Chain A
Amino acid sequence: FPGLADVSISQDIPVEGEITVPVGSQSPDEDYSTLDEPVKDTIMRDLKAVGKKFVHVMYPRKSSALLRDWDLWGPLVLCVSLALMLQGGSADSKDDGGPQFAEVFVIIWFGAVVITLNSKLLGGTISFFQSLCVLGYCVMPLTVAMLVCRLVLLAGAGTVSFIIRLIVVGAMFGWSTLASTAFLADSQPPNRKALVVYPIFLFYFVISWMILTFTPQ
């Protein structure tokens, strides 16, 4: 290409033009700006997200909705309702009795944090809050079990009611463990899955024990 050998810009050609990048139209900004919407829309959007996650826990499938858009509203609501329902136990003596409200709270949140740290230290790829979100939402079957137990205890506190409660709590414990394992197991290294699943099993076992041993006044 001999003709290109001597291409050069001569000094007297003015170099000018526009170098501004055309900014996109304002309408996509308006879609993402939620400052002007009615408060009802904001609340309903979050409520729908929380409700969708509850449905995902009830029918655990391998979906990433629980993981991608994590939120901690659901775990908070579940934890508070579980802790409230565990009150009113045999609290006549100061020493023995069921767990206090703060104890249930601490066990659930501290336990979830410890399990998340454990899975991250073992080399898991899930993020901290995603794991907290999954573990918190999977407490839902046990909250339902607590509700059923309180209703059964209204009817009576004999052996039959104990057997019913045992079966219900056992089934919900299995459901919680399987649901959280289904969501969390994929993000673990393959030869350490059992090391990650065992603390989750222990966590839900302790919560199930608290539910099963609840005795009203």
Chain B
Amino acid sequence: MATADDLKFQEFDDAANLLAANPDATTISIDEPVEIPKNQHSRLQEPGREEDDELLGTDDSDKTELLAGQKKSAPFWTFEYYQTFFDVDTYQVLDRIKGSVFPVPGKNFVRLYIRSNPDLYGPFWICATLVFTIAVSGNLSNFFIHLGKPTYHYVPEFRKVSIAATTIYAYAWLVPLALWGFLMWRNSKVMNIVSYSFLEIVCVYGYSLFVYIPTAILWIIPQQVVRWVLMVFSLCLSGSVLVMTFWPAVRDDNRRIAVATVAAILLLHALLAVGCLAYFFDAPELDIPPPVIPAHNGTTVITKSH
């Protein structure tokens, strides 16, 4: 048992004692996903810290640090550097999308799915799809709403595509930048804050926007109640992904600042959804201003066309 101990990587937290006590615990090889030791550690540790480590992944964060250091070694002006951000296979992208649509309570999206391999494919193409989905759905829904009216002439409203693109790409890149800067600043003041890298934050935001794509398609249904129910539902899903990612990171900070940060994240997310619904989709019961018919005795009668 002593020799097995000498050969194993000595960790300097609680798990070290457990590994010494249980040398048959699964060890980590560099090229395998680090799922098995995480489950071992979480089962063997005290229940109080189990949730923390599952959420933060501090038990394997130092191992993933090693892996991350080995990956992105090309200088930033070469093409290979940017290829490291697209090092994902089809099934990985699909897994990440699935993880953003069905958030498991208690599991951190970044630690579970990203695992120090943030990709730019997902955020970029999910945003592009969302831009065109919102523009096309908005156009279709306006067409169906105004279909029977004699004064309506269909226009493709192509301007709205560029507006949608600017809004969504700005949200998906500037808000992570601000959040990353904020977390870095707090990290310098409070030691316990786990800081994510900028690309991991962009990744989380990008994948969390995926649930808005089917929502935008379903917003074609011209019922206001249905639209708001859909919006609340999708807001809950994607908001929970964001909250479960960022709450453990700011939890150790001053309580008011932590709550304010998470509230700001959710507020911006809700603002994006409400803004898109209001701007691209006309309200279903929007009538042409009712014609004013002057009656014989001088009073005007306003007919409501419904």
A interface, CB within 8 angstroms of B: 89-90, 93, 95-100, 103, 118, 120-123, 191-195, 198-199, 202, 205-206, 209-210, 213-215
| Top 7 closest pairs, chain A to chain B, by CB | A96-B155, A213-B156, A121-B86, A191-B89, A194-B90, A99-B158, A96-B157
A149 to B154 CA separation, bound complex (whole angstroms): 17
Contact code string B113-130 (vs A, CB < 8 Å = 1, else 0) = 000000001000100110
Q: Which chain A residue shows the least CB distance to B83?
A: A121
B41-74 residues with Cβ-Cβ distance < 8 A to A are none
Interface of B is mostly: helix
- 26 contacts across the A-B interface (CB closer than 8 A): A90-B154, A90-B156, A96-B159, A97-B155, A97-B156, A97-B157, A97-B159, A98-B156, A118-B121, A121-B79, A123-B83, A123-B86, A191-B90, A193-B90, A195-B88, A195-B90, A195-B93, A195-B121, A198-B125, A202-B129, A202-B132, A206-B132, A210-B158, A214-B156, A215-B153, A215-B155
Within 8 A of A (CB), among B124-141: 125, 128-129, 132, 136, 139
CA distance A121 to B90 in the complex (A): 14
Q: Which residues does chain B contribute within 8 Å of A215, judged by CB atoms? A: 153-156
A214 and B159 CA atoms in complex are apart in Å by 14
Q: In the complex the two chains form, what is the Cα distance from A194 to B125 in whole Å?
A: 13
- Complex CA gap A120/B90 in Å reads 15
Q: How far is the CA of A123 from the CA of B82 in the complex (A)?
A: 11
Contact present for A95 and B93 (CB under 8 Å)? no
B83 / chain A contacts, CB cutoff of 8 Å: 121, 123
Q: How far is the CA of A86 from the CA of B119 in the complex (A)?
A: 37
**Whole-angstrom CA separation of A192 from B121 in the bound complex:** 11
Known: A191-B90, A209-B136. A89 touches B156 (CB 8 A): yes
Interchain CB contact under 8 A, A90 and B93:
no
Does residue B77 face the partner (Cβ distance < 8 Å to A)?
Answer: no
